[in-house]
């Protein structure tokens, strides 16, 4: 396999499970069975490696989410698919995303509080791209066609609920089945239509 992508894969897994500051370059080298020179041949610094990990994660997560909501044609279906997808991820039934350890971007942003830091900016960019993804999907439904304002509102609401689910699960180490209740879901959607 390509050395570069192999390094990024190993680093992403390790960073996601243990955080950035807690993982040294040497640990990644051992896990990847790669010499230090090889790593610094592909990346000028640890920071650049972290950025590559964030980009890969962004790509993978968005693709996964896009697939999860691919077949939805109504806002209700989008919301239902979204929340059950997140729930299955929390329950470690989404192997593409690795063992659940919260949102990699929120975790990483917590370690780099300066908002102008390149790493923090990538975390922000990810959240914007996910919001865009939800917005696009919702805006193609019959119920929301042409209703820009309401579509934005609903996408925002879904994002907030998604983040809440993930963060709660991360800290409490248990998944919240609340948002899979179809009755509650219908009410939630109704409030934005």
Partner DNA sequence: ACATAAGTAGACCGACTTGTCTACGCTGCA
Partner DNA sequence: TGCAGCGTAGACAAGTCGGTCTACTTATGT
Question: Which of DNA, a second copy, none does residue 25 bind (CB under 5 to 8 Å by kind)?
Answer: DNA
CA distances from 16 to 10, 66, 72, 120 (A): 10, 21, 30, 15
Among 9, 13, 42, 176, binds DNA (CB under 7 A): 42
| Site residue total, DNA (CB under 7 A) | 19
Phi, psi of 51 (to 5 degrees): -60, -40
Q: Identify which of residues 17 and 67 has a Cβ nearer to a second copy in the complex.
A: 17
Q: Which of 18, 36, 66, 140 is in the footprint of DNA by CB under 7 A?
A: 36
Cβ closest to DNA, residue 11 vs residue 109: 11
Does 110 help bind DNA (rule: CB under 7 A)?
A: no
151 Cβ contact partners less than 8 Å away, ≥ 6 residues apart = 135, 138, 139, 144
- Does 122 help bind a second copy (rule: CB under 8 A)? no
Question: Measuring CA to CA, how many Å separate 81 from each of 73, 137, 159?
Answer: 11, 12, 13
């Amino acid at each position: 396999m390509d050395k570069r992508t192999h390094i990024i894969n190993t680093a992403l897994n390790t960073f996601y499970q243990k955080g950035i500051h807690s993982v040294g370059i040497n640990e990644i080298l051992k896990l990847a069975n790669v010499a230090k020179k090889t790593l610094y041949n592909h990346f000028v610094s640890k920071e650049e490696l972290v950025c590559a990990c964030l980009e890969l994660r962004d790509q993978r997560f968005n693709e996964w989410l896009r697939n999860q909501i691919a077949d939805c044609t109504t806002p209700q279906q989008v919301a239902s698919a979204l929340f059950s997808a997140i729930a299955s991820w929390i329950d470690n039934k989404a192997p593409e995303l690795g063992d659940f350890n919260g949102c990699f971007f929120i975790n990483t942003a917590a370690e780099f509080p300066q908002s102008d830091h390149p790493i923090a900016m990538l975390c922000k960019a990810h959240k914007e791209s996910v919001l865009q993804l939800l917005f696009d999907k919702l805006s193609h439904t019959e119920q929301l066609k042409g209703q820009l304002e309401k579509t934005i509102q609903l996408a925002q609401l879904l994002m907030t609920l998604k983040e809440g689910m993930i963060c709660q699960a991360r800290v409490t180490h248990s998944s919240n089945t609340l948002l899979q209740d179809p009755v509650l879901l219908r009410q939630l959607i109704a409030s934005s239509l």
